[in-house]
Chain A
Amino acid sequence: MERGSDRAYRELFKRIGDPAQTGAALADLFNLCRKDFMKYIRAAVRDDEAVKDIFEDLMVEVCLAPQRVVVKDDPKSWMTAMVRNLIRRYFRTVKNMPTYVDLDEYIGLVGYMSAEERQLYLELEGLITDIAAGLTPKRREVFLLHWHEGLPLDGIARRLGRSRHTVKKQLAKAIKEVGKAVEQQWGVKLLGKEDKKDNDHDSQN
């Protein structure tokens, strides 16, 4: 079986929906999930018993509605989101993590930003917003809803009255265009800053 692909997950969900194969399919699903998510969960949750609980809860969630999951475009993303929700639930209920806290920051996968990192991030954010202004109107619309409001594809599609497929394509193109422009302009910007720093240093000397 191909490891961790959407197809592999879809096949397993189909089998779980068949009462005659549920037990065996659950075992296969668990093995696949262990390959795909064990490290992810363990990176966040240190307690082995809690890891076991999260895995069991994940299996229960799948058993509750296999037919609903099997029709999804990307079952693996659904599984990833479910794992993430279960981790978040664990931290909220057991570790009293406040609801407003970003999970990635809480478990140290992204980390809190230093003052320097924050400054750079703000500059990068400004650059991306400037670049987005130069996109074609349709791509700009989609990109800004994604970038500023963090809307998922479905949300953007609903807001703009376009199909999910169209929005997905437009967003992918916009991200590519913005990424390339960042590649070109960010280095130049940083170099400019370095030059300025050197000049300041020279003039002080």
Chain B
Amino acid sequence: MIHRTEYVRELLRKRLEGALSAEEAAMLRAARRLHGRDVWDRLMAEVLEEGGEEGRNDALARWTPDFRRIKQRADRVNRFNTVLKYMVGTTVAAVALVVIWFGFDRYRSGEPGVAGECAGMPPGMEIPVSEFAGAIAYGDRDPLPFQAGSEGHIATVGNLAIIRDSSGILVISEKRKAAEADTAGHRDIRITTAGFQQCGVRLPDGTYVRLNASSTLVYPLSVGDESIHYTRIAGEALVRVPEKRGGGRVIVETHNSQLHSSEGDFSVWTNPWETRITVLDGTISAIARKGGLSRTAGKRGDRIRVKSTRGVGKQINDSLFYHRKRNVNDALMWTSVVRNYRNASLRDFVVDMSRWYGLPATRLHCIPESDRVTTSLCYRATRQDLIAVINRAGLQVYESNGQYSFCRPEDIHHTPGVMHARATSETESCDHCGNYH
């Protein structure tokens, strides 16, 4: 049967003679599949050649190729392949040289604190969790600082235990079900980071929050609906919400909006007048505090921005903007050891850096909106390195009483005045000159 090649040959012969029954045709097709391409081709060639050498007395039977020409063709192809190989090799080497030269040139140009490598770590690496630090506050107690490298139990607040695990993450866990008495005296737990600090917090429902520097996470102690988990964030954070079943969700409150998610990763950037959300995974709904505006975003790179402005009669209005952007790197740049800014707004750069360095930067309106900066900065770069980058971008920095300003001294009377992390009230006129800045 079909496992025997002689039987398959017989079927092939019949096929060529046109004497194949339907059953045999099915067998032949199955045999082709059963034996595979190599055996099939061989059998086919053998059957076709069984009649001996081509007997036709025609030009083809007497024809012999020009072997010298064949050899020449083969040599030509071989030479071409060799040249092609060298050309490709040379091109690759040239490109590699250009890349190396370009990298070396940038390195030699000596941007301070700039990296190839940053603190012995490759540029794409995240700031290690082991370096996380911050402070915990609850009730009337003074904040309890926790330093990089520390580990173990930190505090017990009501029914919640706060420990720092071996990886460096703060874990808030429920020791038992919450009771009314647990919230007496301390309504919430506040975790804050200062300049040069980041920290990771695992909340009781499994949500992970990574806080950037100069940021605050407030976890309210409540005995309400167990399926809804509230958190407040000020500053900048990366939030990872694990899947919640049965209608459960996490609500993150910012100064001017609420973010709802039952599963998703997103970054959030806030100040008193603005919240920016970038979706990394899952679905997030943003609801503005005023005006009943809301928007749901569910694709990686989706961005929602809730902006508050003071209108006529000091009334606050919220606006909600949505747009899509594929690249999410700029929203996560603060998690990396090297922050790469390419043609970025100088004002945004200063805001980011004032957050990381914990600097009270004032009078940001003096930074021209059109000014751009391109730089790479290691997270351990010094304050002098930062000021040098800003100066190179063409901006003068003025320091007075530990505060940094970007206005010339003669413009100092213009408002808005002190602004931390770009708190702009855009429709407010300047007290000094009456113009809008």
Contact of A56 (CB < 8 Å), options: B16, B35, B65:
B65
- Taking residues whose C-beta sits less than 8 angstroms from the other chain, chain A's interface range is 35 or more
Question: For A43, what are the chain B residues with a Cβ–Cβ distance below 8 Å?
Answer: 16, 48
CB of A182 within 8 Å of the partner chain: yes
CB of B295 within 8 Å of the partner chain: no
CB of A188 within 8 Å of the partner chain: no
Which chain B residue shows the least CB distance to A128?
Answer: B30
Contact status of A36 and B22, CB under 8 A, knowing A26-B71, A42-B54, A152-B37: no
Which chain B residue shows the least CB distance to A118?
Answer: B26
- Whether the Cβ atoms of A34 and B54 lie closer than 8 Å is yes
- Whether the Cβ atoms of A124 and B37 lie closer than 8 Å is no
- Whether the Cβ atoms of A117 and B48 lie closer than 8 Å is no
Which residues, 23 to 55 on A, are CB-close (under 8 Å) to B?
23, 26-27, 30, 34-40, 42-43, 48, 51-52, 55
The stretch among A57-65, A90-98, A197-205 that forms the contact with chain B is: A57-65
- Whether the Cβ atoms of B3 and A180 lie closer than 8 Å is yes
- Whether the Cβ atoms of B41 and A27 lie closer than 8 Å is no
Which chain B residue shows the least CB distance to A3?
Answer: B49
CB of B51 within 8 Å of the partner chain: yes
- Whether the Cβ atoms of B41 and A120 lie closer than 8 Å is no
* CA A184 to CA B32, docked complex, whole Å: 20
Contact status of A80 and B1, CB under 8 A, knowing A63-B70, A64-B74: no
CB of B4 within 8 Å of the partner chain: yes
Question: For A22, what are the chain B residues with a Cβ–Cβ distance below 8 Å?
Answer: 71
CB of A192 within 8 Å of the partner chain: no
The stretch among A7-15, A104-112, A133-141, A158-166 that forms the contact with chain B is: A104-112
- Whether the Cβ atoms of A178 and B3 lie closer than 8 Å is yes
Question: For B26, what are the chain A residues with a Cβ–Cβ distance below 8 Å?
Answer: 113, 117, 120-121, 123-124
Which chain A residue shows the least CB distance to B38?
Answer: A77
Name the distance in Å between A194's Cβ and chain B's nearest Cβ: 11
- Whether the Cβ atoms of B65 and A74 lie closer than 8 Å is no
Contact digits for A113-129, partner B, Cβ 8 Å, 1 yes 0 no? 11011001101110010
Which chain A residue shows the least CB distance to B33?
Answer: A147
- Whether the Cβ atoms of B22 and A114 lie closer than 8 Å is yes
* CA A157 to CA B317, docked complex, whole Å: 68
- Whether the Cβ atoms of A63 and B74 lie closer than 8 Å is yes
Which chain A residue shows the least CB distance to B2?
Answer: A179
- Whether the Cβ atoms of A150 and B33 lie closer than 8 Å is yes
- Taking residues whose C-beta sits less than 8 angstroms from the other chain, chain B's interface range is 35 or more
CB of B343 within 8 Å of the partner chain: no
B interface, by DSSP: helix, strand, loop or mixed? helix
CB of A89 within 8 Å of the partner chain: no
Question: For A30, what are the chain B residues with a Cβ–Cβ distance below 8 Å?
Answer: 64-65, 67
Contact digits for B5-17, partner A, Cβ 8 Å, 1 yes 0 no? 0000000000110
- Whether the Cβ atoms of B32 and A80 lie closer than 8 Å is no
Question: For A147, what are the chain B residues with a Cβ–Cβ distance below 8 Å?
Answer: 33-34
CB of B110 within 8 Å of the partner chain: no
- Whether the Cβ atoms of A128 and B34 lie closer than 8 Å is yes
* CA A85 to CA B74, docked complex, whole Å: 18
Which residues, 66 to 102 on A, are CB-close (under 8 Å) to B?
74, 76-77, 80-81, 83-84
- Whether the Cβ atoms of B3 and A80 lie closer than 8 Å is no
- Whether the Cβ atoms of A81 and B70 lie closer than 8 Å is no
- Whether the Cβ atoms of A37 and B45 lie closer than 8 Å is yes
* CA A39 to CA B49, docked complex, whole Å: 6
Of B54, B63, B70, most A-chain CB atoms within 10 Å: B70
Question: For A84, what are the chain B residues with a Cβ–Cβ distance below 8 Å?
Answer: 41
CB of B106 within 8 Å of the partner chain: no
Question: For A178, what are the chain B residues with a Cβ–Cβ distance below 8 Å?
Answer: 3, 34
- Whether the Cβ atoms of B65 and A117 lie closer than 8 Å is no
Name the distance in Å between B160's Cβ and chain A's nearest Cβ: 51
Name the distance in Å between A187's Cβ and chain B's nearest Cβ: 9
Contact status of A34 and B53, CB under 8 A, knowing A113-B29, A179-B2: yes
Contact digits for B263-288, partner A, Cβ 8 Å, 1 yes 0 no? 00000000000000000000000000
Contact of A77 (CB < 8 Å), options: B3, B34, B41:
B41
* CA A190 to CA B1, docked complex, whole Å: 15
Name the distance in Å between B201's Cβ and chain A's nearest Cβ: 44
Contact of B22 (CB < 8 Å), options: A110, A120, A146, A152:
A120
- Whether the Cβ atoms of B67 and A74 lie closer than 8 Å is no
* CA A183 to CA B34, docked complex, whole Å: 14
Of B3, B38, B63, B78, most A-chain CB atoms within 10 Å: B3
- Whether the Cβ atoms of A39 and B15 lie closer than 8 Å is no
Question: For A124, what are the chain B residues with a Cβ–Cβ distance below 8 Å?
Answer: 26-27, 30
- Whether the Cβ atoms of B22 and A117 lie closer than 8 Å is yes
* Chain A to chain B contacts (Cβ below 8 Å), 9 pairs: A30-B67, A34-B53, A34-B54, A60-B74, A76-B42, A83-B41, A152-B37, A152-B38, A180-B3
A residues with CB within 8 A of B: 4, 22-23, 26-27, 30, 34-40, 42-43, 48, 51-52, 55-56, 59-60, 63-64, 74, 76-77, 80-81, 83-84, 104, 109-111, 113-114, 116-117, 120-121, 123-125, 128, 146-147, 150, 152, 175-176, 178-180, 182-183, 186, 190
Q: Which 3 A-B pairs have the closest CB atoms?
A: A179-B3, A63-B74, A183-B1
B residues with CB within 8 A of A: 1-4, 15-16, 22-23, 25-30, 32-38, 41-42, 44-46, 48-49, 51, 53-54, 58-60, 63-65, 67-68, 70-71, 73-74, 77-78
Given A22-B71, A120-B23, A179-B1, 8 more pairs with CB closer than 8 A: A23-B71, A42-B60, A48-B59, A59-B65, A77-B41, A113-B25, A116-B22, A117-B26
